[in-house]
Structures are given as C-alpha cells and as structure tokens.
C-alpha cells in the first residue's frame, strides 16, 4: 500500500489496525473537545473551573462575561493595563474548547488588506505564464485568476470561513494601536460576520467565532465598537488572586516565596512608576528566582533582578532608591 501524500503519522505506511486506531483516537479527541465546548458554558462556575484547570484564575465578573459571550454570540472587549492577562483569556478559551486560535495583532497603519485578504499576485502571474506556455485559448487566459485558490486569507477571513466543528477564537489584540479607520472597518465585520469580495461574492460565517478584543487603553476606542461587545475591565490582581495565579502557573515555587513576590508587587504598583509591573512580570520574576535557586527574597536578590520587573531605566533607578525596609525586607 502506498502512503505517499498522507499526513503524519500515516506517512510511515501504518497497518490497517493502526489506521483504525488512529481514526478512532481522532474521533475520541473531537468528541472530548465537543464535550468541553458544551460543558464549559453550562454555568458560570463551570467557566471558572475550566479556566482554573488551564492555569488561569478568572474572577466571577470575567467568568460571567465569557458565559454571556457564548450564549449571546457577542464579542468580548477586554481593557486593562499591559500584562494583566487579557491576551491569555483568548488562549485559554481556545485551549479549553479545542477551538483554533486565530490572532490579529494590531498596529498603527493596519489596513483591511492586511487583516482580511490579499490576492496572490505572484501566483497569478505565474499561472498566466503557464497558461500561455500550454497554448491555452487567449480568451480563456486569466478568467480564473480571481478565484478562491488565488486568495491569501488573513485572520479575519480565516475566522469567518472556518468550518471546524467548534467555532474558532478570533483574538484582535491591542486594538487601541490601530487607526480609527480600521475601527470602522471592524465595526462592519463584527455587525454581520460576513465579508464581500467583489470577484467572488459574499462569504457568510458558518459559525460565529468567539471574538476577543483587547486594549491597553493607550487611546480611547470609539464607543460604537464597544457597543458591539461585552465590556470587561481586568485590573491588577489582589494579593490572594496573584498568589493563586503563581501557584497555578509556577507550582515549583514555595508558597512563602510566592507570597513575598505578591506583596512586593502590590507595594510597587502603589508607587509612581512609568510602567507598573503586571502579572506577566510577576511570573517572569518568579521564574528568574527559581533559575537562581533562591528560596526567599533579600535586598541583594531584589537589586540584582529588578530588570525582570521594570522595563525602563527611570523606573529601575526609582525602585533602587526606595528603602528596602519600606518593601518589607
């Protein structure tokens, strides 16, 4: 039996028994994903429990927003300071439901072509040359150049065209970095979840994707876009919540050290810094201390590892100037 062209692990000419086993395992996996997909949104408590199993601590407010987004088929708009776990929400949502994560990273100057689709001009020109070399009738040359096979799908089109059993998770990250023109374009897409390509026609979403928009609030996003979404502010966590996050993400850290990290972070966030440390910095700092073999904090360790917490020299100098006794050391 020839196995050329078959995907891994079939390319090693598996036996019929192995093929059957492989297909059965795939079916079981799809069944598990469907089960997770439906059971996760049976209640708000289920949402919290599933998130916790994936090492994400979701409070009641965020869990309620996720629950309602599923049942109301509405996008989620997450706003908060950098590093508090907004992007992670989309990743956990995809992992817990078995959905595909499609990410659109926003930036200044982002336009519809970069976010939606482009024509593969290089392939189109190559196809013209091939048709000419084959002696194809001149009237028919180029008639199929604007078909779907020559389309380069960008994140928005990929999410709308997805035909998976579970709707994909579309992460539109840092939407506040994009221009107001792109916001208006997004507003149209999120209203109908359909795209019109002049050469092909209108493409309607088979499944409405889970849409998660994040913003670091570097500027105000237009209220018309927010009205399309369920809004949720994600703040810096309390000591108790941050401790739970560390224990979930970094179980190798002793509880005493983890508590010290959380207390230090709370004190620093009360200070006057250009960029206050988020949860991401807490986890980075914890990993650094594990790598250094430290079991507790002291003045020397804090001074040596400030670069894990602060990313601007002025903040580092300001942190060094603080009497360590004020930080509880």
- Mean pLDDT over all residues of the chain? 85
pLDDT of residue 15: 45
pLDDT of residue 328: 58
pLDDT of residue 325: 57
Task: Give the DSSP letter string of 126-178.
Answer: HHHHHHHHTT--TTTTTTTTTSGGGEEE-HHHHHHH---SSPPEEEEETGGGS
**In the predicted model, is pLDDT for residue 25 greater than 60?**
no
pLDDT of residue 143: 75
How do residues 218-245 score in pLDDT, each as one tens digit? 999 999 999 999 999 999 999 999 999 9
Tokens of 48: 């919290």
How do residues 269-298 score in pLDDT, each as one tens digit? 998 999 999 999 999 999 999 999 999 998
Give how far Cα 232 sits from Cα of 75, 102, 199, Å. Answer: 11, 21, 39
Name residues whose C-beta falls within 8 Å of residue 301's C-beta, 6 or more positions apart in sequence.
289, 292, 294
Burial 148-161 (b: 16+ CB within 10 A, else e): eebbeebbbbbbbb
Beta strands at 194-197 and 201-204: parallel, antiparallel or unpaired: antiparallel
pLDDT of residue 5: 43
How do residues 172-222 score in pLDDT, each as one tens digit? 999 999 998 899 889 888 888 888 888 888 888 888 999 999 999 999 999
Cα–Cα distance between 97 and 94 in angstroms, integer? 5
pLDDT of residue 308: 95
Which of 258 and 131 is assigned the larger pLDDT? 258
Name residues whose C-beta falls within 8 Å of residue 218's C-beta, 6 or more positions apart in sequence.
176, 177
pLDDT of residue 2: 42
Tokens of 50: 């599933």
pLDDT of residue 27: 43
How do residues 4-16 score in pLDDT, each as one tens digit? 444 444 344 444 4
If pLDDT is split at 50, 70 and 90, which confidence band does 18 have? Answer: low
Chain-centre distance for alpha carbon 38? 21
Which of 316 and 141 is assigned the larger pLDDT? 316
- E-strand ranges in 55-98 read 76-79
pLDDT of residue 14: 41
- The single-letter DSSP state of residue 229 is S
Burial 119-136 (b: 16+ CB within 10 A, else e): eeeeeeeebeeebeeeee
If pLDDT is split at 50, 70 and 90, which confidence band does 61 have? Answer: very high
Chain-centre distance for alpha carbon 147? 31
Contact 90, 169 (CB under 8 A): yes
How do residues 108-149 score in pLDDT, each as one tens digit? 999 888 899 988 889 888 888 888 888 777 777 777 888 888
């Amino acid at each position: 039996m020839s196995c050329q062209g078959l995907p891994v692990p079939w390319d090693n000419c598996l036996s019929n028994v192995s093929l059957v086993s492989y297909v059965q395992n795939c079916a079981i996996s799809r069944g598990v994903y469907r089960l997770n997909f439906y059971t996760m949104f049976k209640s708000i408590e289920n949402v919290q429990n599933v998130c916790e199993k994936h090492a994400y601590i979701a409070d009641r407010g965020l869990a309620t927003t996720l629950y309602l987004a599923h049942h109301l088929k509405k996008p989620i708009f997450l706003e908060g300071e950098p590093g508090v776990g907004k992007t992670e929400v989309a990743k956990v949502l995809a992992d817990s439901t078995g959905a595909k994560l499609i990410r659109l990273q926003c930036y200044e100057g982002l336009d519809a072509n970069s976010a939606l689709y482009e024509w593969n001009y290089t392939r189109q020109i190559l196809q013209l040359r091939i048709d000419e070399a084959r002696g194809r009738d001149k009237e028919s040359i180029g008639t199929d150049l604007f078909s779907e096979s020559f389309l380069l799908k960008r994140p928005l089109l990929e999410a709308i065209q997805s035909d998976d059993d579970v709707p994909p998770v579309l992460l539109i990250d840092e939407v506040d970095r994009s221009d107001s023109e792109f916001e208006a374009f997004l507003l149209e897409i999120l209203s109908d979840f359909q795209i019109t390509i002049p050469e092909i026609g209108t493409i309607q979403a088979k499944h409405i994707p889970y849409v998660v928009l994040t913003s670091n609030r570097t500027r105000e996003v237009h209220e018309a876009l927010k009205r399309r979404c369920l809004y949720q502010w994600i703040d810096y966590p309390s000591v108790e919540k941050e401790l739970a996050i560390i224990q979930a993400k970094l179980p190798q850290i002793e509880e005493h050290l983890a508590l010290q990290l959380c207390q230090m972070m709370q004190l620093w966030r009360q200070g006057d810094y250009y960029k206050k440390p988020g949860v991401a910095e807490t986890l980075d700092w914890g990993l650094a201390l594990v790598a250094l073999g430290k079991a507790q904090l002291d003045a020397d360790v804090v001074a040596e590892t400030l670069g894990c917490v602060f990313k601007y020299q002025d903040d580092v100098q300001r942190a060094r100037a603080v009497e360590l006794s004020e930080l509880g050391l």
